[in-house]
Amino acid sequence: MRQFLKQIFASLIGSLAGLSLFCGLGTIGLIILIIAAGTQDSTPQVKDKSVLIFDSSLNITDTDPTSSTGDAIGQALSGEESNTITLRTVLNSLEEATQDPRIIALYIDGSHSGGGSTTGLATLKEVRAAMEKFRAAGKTIIAYDVDLSEREYYLNSVADTLILNPMGGIEINGFSSEPLFLTGALEKFGVGVQVIRVGKYKSAVEPFLLKELSPENRQQLQALLGDIWGELIATVGKSRKISPQQLQGIADSQGVLMASDAKTRGLIDKVAYFDEVITDLKKIAGATEDEKSFPQIRLSTYAEVAMKEGNNKSSKNKIAVIYANGEIVDGEGGPQQVGGDSFAKQMRQLRLDNDVKAVVLRVNSPGGSATASEIIQREVRLTRAKKPVIVSMGDMAASGGYWISTYGNRIFAEPNTVTGSIGVFGMLLNFQKLANDNGLTWDVVKTGNLADSQTVSRPKTPQEIAIAQNIVNQIYNQFLDKVADSRKIPKPKVAQIAQGRVWSGSDAKQLGLVDEIGGLDEAIAYAAKQADLGDNWQLEEYPKFRSLEERILLKLTGDKNSRSQKISDPLTREFLKLKADLEILQGLNDPKGVYARLPFNWRID
């Protein structure tokens, strides 16, 4: 029935989008009334001895991604939950549950993970830390799954009792990164590529120039993966009372273990079926065998209770958390992008708002446009002159993401955050051979040697390359100067640790690129302390997201955003990786064609 309602109302909204605005506006009230009637529900109740259910398939993100309005309405009417939840929601709910005497246990449910979530490891570390506090308060954590990847095992290993289905298994074979190189395809189709860059580790251009990793890129990837893997086996080993060396031995000799082997090696506590886990949870909650279930509440539902019942601070003093989530692009940007102009405007509003006493800049970005990064950084510096600006780095805050972070009063990162990548590049494409091979030619009339220097009809001349390289060099030097000035590191040392090289958060702290290891909560607490607010403050998050009603209006007037679907078959996944790499090119809109960005296809498998 839920799926039926979703399809009906998604189709309805799609049809309404084609109506006139007058008719559409007349229909909005009706739709909103239907939604209100369909979603009116009593406040969720938390029973005594309840188990908090955490669905391990949830994707935890910094911000709530834009989904299609039709899906949102279908979801609202059917009561079906989104598969995405924000980090703040998870952390707040776990903190509230830790203090709530009605919540006696946490159940990490992997019974319908469907391949698991795509949540980043640094984000999972913050969630894991909150779960550790829950457990330290004397409450029980039970985890159940069928198959566990390293990412899932990293979180589930926090449990008092970790249970695996008898047909299940654990993948623990280490991390790998397998970049895709487009060079051969570009050569085959006659697309010419010329590159200008500074920094021997600035590997973002390698997929367009080489057919395999450069020695420098291989070196930095090996070191970064080593740091992230080392953090994982150290953290998991501490919880499971297994040495990192033992875990490394398992990874090197077995890689994938069936449930029985995993129990023998101490990786899990119990092998059982889902119904047996439910029986155990009934006992924990004090339910009898005759009862069909036990007192429970899903984390997303409990979040509503926590918001209504919790000790929500109300104060004129605000701490603003502003999210830089996604590719940094010139202009206004779009969904999952950080627009230089729009983000700077938001930061400026926070600077001028006297009620905002401190700003936490949460960065989860691989970088992008150097121009947009500088526009944002300027506003960060101006804001810092009036009030504390504390930076919290998420899964990645590199290149342009580091550019906008470097002037924070204090920078927090997780040990497995990907950061650094202080370097810049430019990429110049031409389609001369592709066109000529298909009978297309160009000719030109011009009033100066450089009048057609931006053309894609031919390769750039040595003079044009030299001019572009000079611009890249200047911007790179500006980047070095800014890091040296903001971090109080001599420029020669900055030049040594820059070169476009990526670093883990733990290495970045040793190098002085970040100040403290910690997550978003630690950054917020530090901001309150720096602003001397004590407990007299209230948290607000930016940018503000549109309500469902506003999204309906946008849909009726031409909103074309749609939610992507998760694909599981290997062939389609590889195709989507290629598609994602090519889509990144659409975000390369810097007016100078110069970028401070991580490698295009950075992934950990």
Residues with catalytic function: 202, 399
> Are the C-beta atoms of residues 207 and 180 closer than 8 Å to each other?
yes
d(CA 31, CA 336): 28
Q: How far apart are the C-alpha atoms of 72 and 39, rounded to whole Å? A: 12
Please, are residues 283 and 293 in contact by the beta-carbon 8 Å criterion? no
Nearest to residue 64, comparing CAs of 90, 86, 82?
Answer: 86
- 125 close to 414: Cβ distance less than 8 angstroms: yes
At 542, which helix (H) or strand (E)?
Answer: strand 538-542
Q: CB-based contacts of 69: which residues, under 8 Å, 6+ apart?
A: 13, 548, 551, 552, 554, 555, 559
In angstroms, the CA 346 to CA 411 distance is: 20
Cα 278 from Cα 22, distance rounded (Å): 53
Long-range contacts of 182-186 (CB under 8 A, 24+ apart): 182/207, 182/208, 182/581, 183/207, 183/208, 183/209, 183/210, 183/211, 184/211
Q: Which of 366, 430, 438 is nearest to 404 (CA)?
A: 366
Phi, psi of 460 (to 5 degrees): -75, 145
Q: State which H helix or E strand residue 390 sits in.
A: strand 389-398
HSE, side-chain direction, 13 A CA sphere, residue 468: 23
CB 220 within 8 A of CB 203: yes
Identity of the amino acid at 498: A
* DSSP assignment letter at 44: P
CB-based contact 427:195 (threshold 8 Å) = yes
User: How far, in Å, CA of 192 to CA of 537, rounded?
Assistant: 56
* Sequence-ordered list of residues with C-beta below 8 angstroms from that of 533, at least 6 positions apart, any chain: 317, 319, 357, 358
The answer to whether the CB of 387 falls within 8 A of the CB of 358 is: yes
Sorted by sequence, the CB contacts under 8 Å of residue 349 that are 6+ apart come out as: none
Instruction: Specify whether the CB–CB gap between 398 and 392 falls below 8 A.
Output: no
Q: Could you tell me which residues are beta bridge partners of residue 140? A: 105
